A and B are shown apart, each in its own frame.
Chain A
């Protein structure tokens, strides 16, 4: 974005002002995340930068909060992490299966009532989460699934499928249906055609939808707060409880782990997006 030489001075000033504003916004977006890193290695129990930390004194840093997170007495994080992963993984699998099937149906040009059905399928994304939480809680309570893993998994499938439906439908929009017809004309049955032809081609969309579903479930707290009993506490619920009671450095240690996890997810999602664009022949 180098300015041409003939640019008039006031536009030049305006341009640098614009870049400055952009810089501030980027800083505003990203900086809060990096406050957590150093503070989670604080040797003290306070959530402020101590003088020692400012001088980069090695004694001011320690990993005691990470040890507390893993080995601490009565610590809830182990159970919470286990529950979170179990729930998120099953919710993701469920969302992927239901969402991909629905997306395949929806992108068929023979699909009747496409608009209405699409509206219903993505409604959990549109309706404010608190309302979804109340409605799902009423259902689970009636079905006797409140405070069970199954109930929470089903709830997260509800919230996760819209993402899969949207990403897979988007991938299928650039899909050449004559390939599957070619496969059938060569004698492949529909199941084989799907597994060998369609699925590999739409896989990037399926996986990125699955990532969305995973993150949605892993990060979801409103619905779980309504549904969870003591045995099904998850990481977000524990963080919520901790943040309400007292902001302790252990929470920051957990938060740091979550940020590392989200960096990994971000990298996966980016790689998939690029691969998908390459496959669809979109070169920008």
Chain B
């Protein structure tokens, strides 16, 4: 700054520069204060709980808290041979408290996950330990059941020592860490989660593709028709958009049922015989058809808003310079619509990947997606840490898609409605 500018003073006698800075600062605070209520509200009720899902998904303190003395005594034990007397004593004392508080059942179940057959061994110990005498617990415990001499059981206890675990994440991709601590896959007939992940991706991909193929022509028509016709046709897009998701799902359930109109139509045109009507609901077909119709407006609207801004004279110029309509379309029109395509595809794909209601109603067993599994664990098995782990895996996937999209197209280019 030159010395001249510093001389400029406001009426209060404060240098102008400083006064401006103060005003700027005031405005900043004012703007921030306006945002604060919503920001705080969302952080407390939404952002922190999502972060909390992470701590919940890796939390494994249950066993750790049930056997505090045992794990303290086990710190010195290397796990190669049978643990020393102190460990046996500590375990006896911990277990006695659990039996007295009637919470031993939870420990039995948890340890049985680690080593099959642990439950019966522990149950027998619970019955016999009342008659235990003081001292030499190692001998007494082994006398109750000879499996206590097997070092595998003690290793199983030790494996549950850490308060945190990533086992839920492994379970989400059908893997687990076995008794030697190696990460292996579950047996082939139990790999359900991988099927669900790949099916979710497949459904999301194809629904996005179908939506794109159907939305592009009608968005183009809407953008090029004169206003009075396009407004009328726009209602066909907006009415489903504003209608309840469950209403639309219900109408598909009516249409796709075996005695439904779609099957009636197929019989009428002679595609299938009356006694051989295909099952179109409670499988993937139903999921595809219903989800495509439900998500189609989310593809049409961004495409339309981008196409609306493309001047028709561009195509005319291309044609007048000798391009055939096909070439003009692919060289001029199509590249200009890419921001709309990107926004529509991103929107539909992300909505589809987290879809829950429609697949649950029309999907049947072969049409359910990963969200249904999350809801199932939330509501039925109550394995909330597993539901959290799978939810976060899904969220990570969505964020990765956003990141890739941002690199390719740029989020700023998104146009909604």
Q: Which residues of A contact B (CB under 8 A)?
A: 1, 11, 18-19, 21-22, 25-26, 28-30, 32-33, 35-36, 39, 47-49, 98-99, 101-102, 104-106, 108, 110-112, 117, 120-121, 123-124, 126-139, 154-155, 157-158, 161, 165-166, 215, 218-219, 221-222, 225-226, 236, 239-240, 243-244, 247, 251-252, 255, 258-259, 262-263, 265-266, 269-270, 284
* Given A35-B251, A47-B254, A108 and B31 contact (CB-CB distance below 8 Å): yes
Residue B97 CB within 8 A of the other chain: no
Tell me the minimal C-beta distance from A257 to chain B in angstroms: 10
Nearest-neighbour CB distance to chain A for B129, whole angstroms, equals: 37
* Cβ contact within 8 Å between B357 and A247: no
Nearest chain A residue, comparing its CB with the CB of B247:
A255
Asked if B38 contacts A121 (CB within 8 A), the reply is yes
Cα of A284 to Cα of B394 in the assembled complex, Å: 42
Q: Are B253 and A243 interface neighbours, CB within 8 A? A: yes
Cβ contact within 8 Å between A161 and B391: no
A-B contact pairs, 9 of them (CB 8 A): A28-B214, A36-B254, A101-B35, A117-B39, A127-B395, A130-B356, A131-B354, A138-B56, A247-B250
- Is B46 within 8 A of A29, CB to CB? no
Closest chain B residue to A211, Cβ basis: B242
Q: In the assembly, what is the distance between CA of A239 and CA of B45, in Å?
A: 28
**A145 CB, nearest partner CB in chain B, Å:** 10
Contact across chains for B240 and A247 when beta carbons are under 8 A apart: no
Asked if B317 is at the interface of the complex by the 8 Å CB criterion, the answer is no
Q: Report if A243-B257 is in contact (Cβ < 8 Å); known contacts: A111-B32, A222-B356.
A: no
Residues of A within 8 A of B254 (CB): 35-36, 39, 47, 247, 252
CA distance A11 to B38 in the complex (A): 55
- Which of A104, A139, A218, A240 interacts with B357 by CB under 8 Å? A240
A1-B225 in contact (CB<8A)? yes
Q: A123-B42, A240-B246 are contacts. A221–B49 as well, Cβ < 8 Å?
A: no
Chain B residues engaging chain A, CB cutoff 8 angstroms: 24, 27-28, 30-39, 41-50, 52-53, 56, 214-215, 217-218, 221, 224-225, 227, 233, 235-240, 242-255, 257, 259-261, 293, 296-297, 308, 325, 350-351, 353-354, 356-357, 360-361, 371, 374-375, 378-379, 384, 387-388, 391-392, 394-395, 398, 402, 416
> How far, in angstroms, from A139 to B52 measured CA to CA in the complex?
9
Contact status A30-B239, CB under 8 Å: yes
Known: A106-B31, A133-B375, A258-B243. 7 other contacts (CB 8 A): A28-B214, A134-B53, A138-B52, A226-B379, A244-B361, A262-B244, A266-B238
Q: Is the beta-carbon distance between A243 and B56 smaller than 8 angstroms?
A: no
Which 8 A/B pairs are nearest by Cβ-Cβ distance?
A: A128-B354, A105-B34, A105-B35, A108-B31, A110-B27, A135-B49, A139-B49, A102-B38
CA separation between A112 and B235, bound complex, in Å? 40
Contact of A98 among B37, B56, B217, B354 (CB under 8 A): B37
Interface pair A137/B378, CB less than 8 Å apart:
yes
- Give complex CA distance A165, B308 in Å: 24
A120 to B47: give the CA distance in the assembly, Å. Answer: 8
Shortest CB-to-CB span from B415 to chain A, Å, is 10
Residue of A nearest to B372 (CB): A130
Whether the pair A136, B244 counts as a contact (CB closer than 8 A) is no
A39 to B259, CA, bound (A): 14
A111 to B296, CA, bound (A): 36
Q: Is the CB of B251 within 8 A of A36?
A: yes
B215 proximity list for chain A (CB < 8 A): 25
Contact A48 B255 (CB under 8 A): no
Q: How far is the CA of A33 from the CA of B244 in the complex (A)?
A: 10
Give CA–CA (A138, B46) in the complex, Å: 10
